Amino acid sequence: MTLTPRRLYIFTGKGGVGKTTLSKAFVRHLKNLNHEAIYLTFKNQSLSENHVEKNSSLETHGIREVYLDLEECAKGYIERRLNSSMIAGWIVKTPFFRALVNMIPGFNYLIYLGKILEMGKDNPNLIVILDAPASGHALTMVESTTNFQHIFESGVIFEDTHKMLSRLNDPNYTKIHVVSLASQMSWQEAIELKSGIEQRSPVEVSITVNNCLWPLVEQNLSDLPPGLKLKALNEKELLQDHAPEMLCVLPHSLESFSQGIEMDLVGSLSKLI
């Protein structure tokens, strides 16, 4: 059965679990299925005094990578609402606006999500793969639109927030992948993050275990050094205990470079759709 992809996939999890490599590999997987997909991430979490960044897009080894800048996205939103680039540029430079964005939890993600949904509206065939901030930031991102809908009970911001919320919480539009390593600490954090997101959103949330040694060495366990053997056996125990809760288990790649690892992963990602 051929699955219809969602329009927005969010990859999150503890730092160092391989979200970036997995996100890019998933873009490659979708492109191999003839879908138009891009890798996207955020450049910054706050507005700085001496801002020089811009949104940027580049083609890297056959996939499009988009890096969103917070100030540029905020300026674009205000410009669309006021129909004036000059006024928008002035507003985002004011101390009040910067303080508002930097001090209110989730305001930055509201701006970013607005830009992502605008990209999807401009291109109905586009699938966005978001390499999201780790754990706690991801929870803030998911609940930010809900918070602002409560703050602004009417008006333009309320209407825009409602549109963002309807898309972000649409199971046919959005899917969230929590990425974990095959270790007890990483797994526990992934479970807690999944539970936290599910309390805040009705979209599908699943856990993928990445960079797992056990599938590669189970036939040659006796040949391993003691340290690697212990690691593999610990992974085996974790996989056996929690297999029903794992959407996908991805083996460790023997490649040295990120592009090679991405290519290794591509053939194993059909369950992520």
- pLDDT of 155-185, one tens digit each? 777 788 888 888 888 999 999 999 999 999 9
Q: What angle do CA 203, 7, 244 make, to 5 degrees?
A: 45
* pLDDT bucket at 194, cuts 50 / 70 / 90: very high
What is the reported pLDDT for 2? 60
Q: Rounded to two decimals, what is the model's pTM?
A: 0.93
Mean pLDDT (the chain, rounded): 90
Tokens found for residue 21 = 């490599």
Which fold is adopted by the domain 8-260? Rossmann fold (3.40.50)
What is the reported pLDDT for 271? 95
Name the nearest CA neighbour of 27 among 14, 13, 11, 12.
11
H helices present in the chain, as ranges? 19-32, 70-82, 85-93, 95-103, 107-122, 135-151, 156-168, 184-200, 214-217, 226-242, 258-266
Tokens found for residue 142 = 């998911």
Q: What angle do CA 247, 39, 273 make, to 5 degrees?
A: 30
What is the reported pLDDT for 272? 97
Name the residue ranges covered by the structural domains of the chain: 8-260
Q: Give me the mean pLDDT over the 261-272 stretch.
A: 94
